[in-house]
Chains A and B, each alone.
Chain A
C-alpha cells in the first residue's frame, strides 16, 4: 500500500512536469508561427532582397533549432548522441550545399 501511494505521488509529479513541458511547446509553436509570419511579411512587403534573404534564412535556422530542441526534445537529458548525429549531419549538409551551389554545377 505504501508503495502504491508513493507511485501515485510520483505520477502526479510527472504529470505536472509534462504539463510544464507542454507549456513550453505551445510557446515554441507561437514563436514559430510568428517567425513564419515575419518571413512571409518581408517578402510580401517587397523589402530589398539584400536585406530580406539573410533575415529569412536566419529565421528558418532559428525555427529549426526550436523544432529540434523543443518539439524533438533535444533539450532533455540523454541527447548527447542525437546532438552529435544531427550536428554532424548539419555540418556535412552545409558543405554539400556550399559545394553544389558554388562549384559543381557551375
Chain B
C-alpha cells in the first residue's frame, strides 16, 4: 500500500503536502520567504535613500536603457509561467512533461542572467559605472546583484533537482522538493517586479 502511494500514477492530491516532511518543508519555506522579503526590503530602502547620490558618476536616467530591462522582465515573467506549467504536470503525475517545463524555465533563467551580466558589463565599461563609483552605484549593484545571485542559486537548485531525480520519477519524497524550488522561482520574479519598477522605471522618471 505504502509502496503504491509512492508511484507517480497513484499520487494523492497535493503530493507536496501529503507527507509530514513535505508539510514541514512547505511551512518552513514560507517562513524563509517572509525573511527574504525583509532582506530585500533593507536593500530597497538603502537604494531609495542613496539613488540620488551619484557623486561624480553617471545618474540613473543617464545609464538605464528600458529596452533591455523590458526584455529581461518578459523573460523572467515567462519563466514564472513555465514553472507553473511544471507544477501543473507534477500534480497530474506526468514526470517527463514536468522535467521538460522545468528545463524551459532553466533556459529562460539563463537568458535572464546573461542579459544581466551584459548589462553590468556595459555599465562598467561603457559608462565607468563601477561598484565604488558612488553611493548610488554601490546601492544599485548590491540590490540588483543580490537578485541576480538569487537567480543563479535558483538555477543551480532546479538543475540539481532535475538531475538527481531524473530516474526516480515523481514520488511523495521529491514532490515537495520540486514544489518548493518553484515557489522560490516565483519569489525571484516577485522581487524583480519591484526592481524594474523602483530601480529602472522610477530611475527614468527621476
Contacts and interface: CB of A to CB of B under 8 A. Distances in A.
Nearest to B31: A85
A72 B186 CA distance: 7
A106 B45 CA distance: 12
A14 B15 CA distance: 13
A15 B92 contact: yes
Interface residues of A, number: 50
The interface size bin for chain B is: 35 or more
Nearest to B17: A78
Interface in A1-44: 7, 14-15, 18, 21-22, 25-26, 29, 32-33, 36, 39-40, 43-44
Given A57-B197, A71-B186, A105 B46 contact: yes
The residue in A14, A15, A106 that gathers the most chain B C-beta atoms within 10 A of its C-beta is A14
Contacts of A99: 45
A92 B30 contact: no
B35 interface: yes
A105 B141 CA distance: 18
Given A59-B197, A60-B197, A67-B80, A105 B50 contact: yes
Contacts of A94: 41
A56 B66 CA distance: 15
B161 interface: no
Interface string B4-39: 000000100110010000000011001101111110
B48 interface: yes
B112 to A, nearest CB: 14
A50 B189 CA distance: 26
Contacts of B77: 29, 32-33, 36
A32 B74 CA distance: 10
Contacts of A52: 201, 205
Interface in A52-72: 52-53, 56-57, 59-60, 63-64, 67-68, 71-72
B74 A36 contact: yes
10 contacts: A26-B81, A29-B80, A33-B77, A52-B201, A78-B14, A82-B27, A86-B37, A89-B38, A97-B41, A105-B46
Interface of B: 10, 13-14, 17, 26-27, 30-31, 33-38, 40-42, 44-46, 48-50, 66, 70, 73-74, 77, 80-81, 84-85, 88, 91-92, 183, 186-187, 189-190, 193-194, 196-198, 201-202, 204-206
Given A78-B17, A86-B34, A89-B35, 18 more contacts: A25-B81, A29-B81, A39-B196, A43-B201, A43-B204, A44-B66, A67-B80, A72-B187, A89-B37, A93-B40, A96-B41, A97-B41, A100-B44, A100-B45, A100-B46, A100-B48, A104-B49, A105-B49
